[in-house]
Structure 1
Amino acid sequence: MAYARHQSFYLRDKWISKGLKAVHFQPRFFFEENSPENVGLGKNMVMSLRFWLLATGLINEEKVDRRTEHHSTDLGNIIFKDRLLQRNDTVSILHYQLVRNEDDLATVFEWFFNEYKETVTDRDSLLKAFIVWVNKNDKPVSKKSLKRDIDCLVQLYTKEPNEDDPEDFTFSPFTKLNIMKENATENGQEVVHKIQPDIEDIGLISLYYILLKYSEENETSLISLDEIVQDKYLWGNLFNLSRNRIIDVLNLLANHKKFPLEYVRTNNLDNVRLPQIKPIEFLSYEYEVEIERGTG
């Protein structure tokens, strides 16, 4: 498990683009003295950018001639085409990567969307619940670090653009998902809400990709509706989607022009059968990006 590796900075608008371009041209970018000047960020922000690129699975670290370098993953190469995050699908996939926490870099996101079941709360309550969970599942961690994680979590999904200042780029692109809101009550307390977004806020491509990833990792082409509603890393937990909203999405994906899924009813259970297509190949088709076949 890992905590507060974001240097207290939530992901900002344009950061993904800055980071992917920098790594593309210079695999040692994050170890160069002039890296902050080259991307127009402070030193700690550059460290934070490195975290976000790694935690979302867009780059990986590898040793080349005994030196650490960063290179784009297959996912990073595809997302590079939409590195300004203009598609909601792209942001949804990055959200999925954070919550999935495959490389154990972003514990707070995995916890909040899979373990924490309250739909209305506040930052203090979130922090108390997170401390209890961490103490139960990990060695003691400083309250200060955990508070940084909770603050970053809330800001990542709620920090919207300043409509009065078009030059303000400190907002988070994740706000376009509309899965969390923080509002002040009449007594001035800030209340955090988990929100069920519209399908258009998430995007059908990302939802299909997530199903294909689940299918690949669990070595099955058959996924039950109950799993999609309840299981970790699937739609119900990831995007706060109700059963009815999920059925609406499945009906749309059953009409996909190239890779339609199908409903299968077995033992009075609703199931979905997925086509034989690798998730990364599906994504490359949708984003019109060529990738090397046979890679993960």
Structure 2
Amino acid sequence: MAYARHQSFYLRDKWISKGLKAIIESPRFFYEDDSPEEIGLGKNMVQSLRFWMLATEIIYEDKSNKQTEHYLTELGNLIYHKDRLLQKNDTVSILHYHLVRNKDDLATVFNWYFNNYKETITQRDILLKTFTTWVNNNDKSVSPKSLKRDIDCLVQLYTKKSEENDPEDFIFSPFTKLNLIKEEQSEEGYGNVRKVTPELNDIGLVSLFYVLLKYGEENEVNLVSLDEILNEDFLWGKVFNLSRNRIIEILNKLTNHSKFSLQYVRTNNLDNVRLPNISSFEYLSYEYGFSLDRVTV
């Protein structure tokens, strides 16, 4: 488990684009003395960017040459060539999914909040207390300051929007377009943090299909039940706060995909979907019009 590796900075607009370009130009970018000047960020922000890129699985570390270097993953290459400014909601949804997966144990708080935390509405102080209790029960003692930074960063990542009256505002988070979390004042004056069920256009159909295919790959199954999609870690109900009715609505759309449609299967009185025979990345490449074979970096 890992805490506060983001250096207290949530992911800013344009950071991903800058980071991908920097890594292509120099695999040792994050260890170069002039990297802050090269990318136009402070030293701690550069280290924060390294965390976000690793945690969303768009770069990976290679230590085979007795020094650490970073390279773009397949997903990182696709995003660099097809949507490095994160203009598509699908792209941001996919980054959100990989962050929540916490595959390399880099982003515990995001995994915990979306997969483990049950409350829909809470306040930051209650969120912090609950997270602290969970960490103390599951891990070694962690600095309270680190845990507070994690909770603050979690909320900011999904709620820090651009200032409408300031066209030069670049400190907003691209994750706000997903509309997964809202922070708002209650009638009693409390600052509520609320999980939101987003509209389909907020998160995108392509990203949802990708997540479903990823689940099938990693669990070596081609049949997934509606209950799994709703309740299992790293699937739609938890990762995207989706209700059963919204999931059914989306599945109906995916059964009509022009090339890689899902199939409904009724087995033992359970609603299941049969996944098409294609890998998650092959599917994503098809939707984005991307060919890794033709990419030179």
* TM-score normalized by the length of structure 2: 0.97
**Judging changes above 3 Å, is the alpha-carbon distance between structure 1 residues 105 and 166 closer, same or farther for their aligned structure 2 residues?**
same
Task: Name the CA distance, whole Å, in 2 between partners of 1:221 and 1:239.
Answer: 21
Pick which of 227-236 and 188-197 moved more. 188-197
Task: Name the CA distance, whole Å, in 2 between partners of 1:20 and 1:52.
Answer: 11
The residue number in structure 2 matching 1:161 is 162
Task: Name the CA distance, whole Å, in 2 between partners of 1:36 and 1:202.
Answer: 32
Which runs of structure 2 are paired with 1:140-159 in the superposition (5 Å)?
140-159=141-160
Aligned length: 293
The residue number in structure 2 matching 1:170 is 171
The residue number in structure 1 matching 2:4 is 4
Note the alpha carbon deviations across 1:244-296, whole angstroms, 9 max, x for none: 10000000010111100100001110000001101111111111111259xxx
Task: Name the CA distance, whole Å, in 2 between partners of 1:240 and 1:186.
Answer: 24
Task: Name the CA distance, whole Å, in 2 between partners of 1:63 and 1:135.
Answer: 32
Task: Name the CA distance, whole Å, in 2 between partners of 1:165 and 1:292.
Answer: 41
The residue number in structure 2 matching 1:111 is 112
Secondary structure in 2 aligned to 1:67?
coil
Give the C-alpha shift of residue 164 in structure 1: 1.2
Give the C-alpha shift of residue 65 in structure 1: 2.4
For the pair 1:239 / 2:244, whether they are aligned, the reply is no
Task: Name the CA distance, whole Å, in 2 between partners of 1:133 and 1:185.
Answer: 26
The residue number in structure 1 matching 2:26 is 26
Task: Name the CA distance, whole Å, in 2 between partners of 1:4 and 1:266.
Answer: 45
Paired AA for residue 22 in structure 1: A
Give the C-alpha shift of residue 25 in structure 1: 0.9
For the pair 1:99 / 2:116, whether they are aligned, the reply is no
Give the C-alpha shift of residue 67 in structure 1: 1.6
Note the alpha carbon deviations across 1:74-118, whole angstroms, 9 max, x for none: 111111120100000000000000100000000000000010000
Secondary structure in 1 aligned to 2:13?
coil
The residue number in structure 2 matching 1:74 is 74
* TM-score normalized by the length of structure 1: 0.97
Give the C-alpha shift of residue 188 in structure 1: 3.5
Q: Unpaired segments of 5 or more residues in structure 1?
A: none
Paired AA for residue 72 in structure 1: L
Task: Name the CA distance, whole Å, in 1 between partners of 2:189 and 2:207.
Answer: 37
Give the C-alpha shift of residue 64 in structure 1: 4.3
Give the C-alpha shift of residue 185 in structure 1: 2.6
Note the alpha carbon deviations across 1:218-253, whole angstroms, 9 max, x for none: 000000000000000000001111101000000001
The residue number in structure 2 matching 1:43 is 43
Note the alpha carbon deviations across 1:134-154, whole angstroms, 9 max, x for none: 011111111110000000000
Task: Name the CA distance, whole Å, in 2 between partners of 1:292 and 1:83.
Answer: 19
For the pair 1:195 / 2:191, whether they are aligned, the reply is no
Give the C-alpha shift of residue 7 in structure 1: 0.1
Note the alpha carbon deviations across 1:157-186, whole angstroms, 9 max, x for none: 000000111101010000000010001234
Give the C-alpha shift of residue 63 in structure 1: 1.9
Task: Name the CA distance, whole Å, in 1 between partners of 2:167 and 2:227.
Answer: 44
Aligned-pair RMSD on alpha carbons?
1.0
Task: Name the CA distance, whole Å, in 2 between partners of 1:245 and 1:159.
Answer: 26
Secondary structure in 2 aligned to 1:160?
coil
How many percent identity over aligned positions? 69
Runs of 4 or more off by more than 4 Å in structure 1?
none
Give the C-alpha shift of residue 202 in structure 1: 0.5
Give the C-alpha shift of residue 190 in structure 1: 1.1
Note the alpha carbon deviations across 1:121-142, whole angstroms, 9 max, x for none: 0110000000010011111111
Task: Name the CA distance, whole Å, in 1 between partners of 2:266 and 2:186.
Answer: 46
